[in-house]
Amino acid sequence: MRLDTLSPNVGSKHRIKRLGCGESSGHGKTSGKGHKGQKARAGGTVRHGFEGGQMPIYRRLPKKGFNNAAFCYNWASLNVSTLEEVFEDGDEINEVTLREANLVKGRWDGVKILGFGEITKKFTVNVDRISASAKAKIEAAGGTVTTPAAK
């Protein structure tokens, strides 16, 4: 095998469409764009679904079905390693103290504590949700965990 004998696989290379190279090329004169109209002009494109000003099909059809997205809960999640960095030993942690510490910002349905990281300080945690691993780590460090009735 020599480098000058190598060639690409059959069918892997395509000839480029050379536009505007005379009538006999098959792509001369209007270069495959037809006669006049918006799509024949320079920069002339229409957005996906546009029907020339007519009410498009996706707006004409009735909206059917049901989506549970309106009824889902959005939780602000924090790891125990974050609590270890920010709070002191013996502190009480709830949504109010988390917002004062700027750990929870914006609109949320509640706060969930996750178990990533290690914890050595004793906390009193009162949040909406807590993972099993986070609860085990807090209680192993001597803290207490309380959660209200499930949302």
The rounded mean pLDDT for the chain is 92
Fold of the domain built from segment(s) 73-146: Ribosomal Protein L15; Chain: K; domain 2 (3.100.10)
| pLDDT surpasses 70 at 102 | yes
> According to the model, what pLDDT value does residue 143 have?
94
Once rounded to an integer, what is the mean pLDDT over residues 103-128? 94
Once rounded to an integer, what is the mean pLDDT over residues 39-54? 90
Residues 95/113, Cβ–Cβ less than 8 Å: no
pTM of the prediction?
Answer: 0.56
> According to the model, what pLDDT value does residue 70 have?
86
- Which of 148, 88, 95, 97 lies closest to 123, judged by CA? 88
Domain residue extents for the chain:
73-146
**What is the band of 150 on the pLDDT scale with cuts at 50, 70, 90?**
low
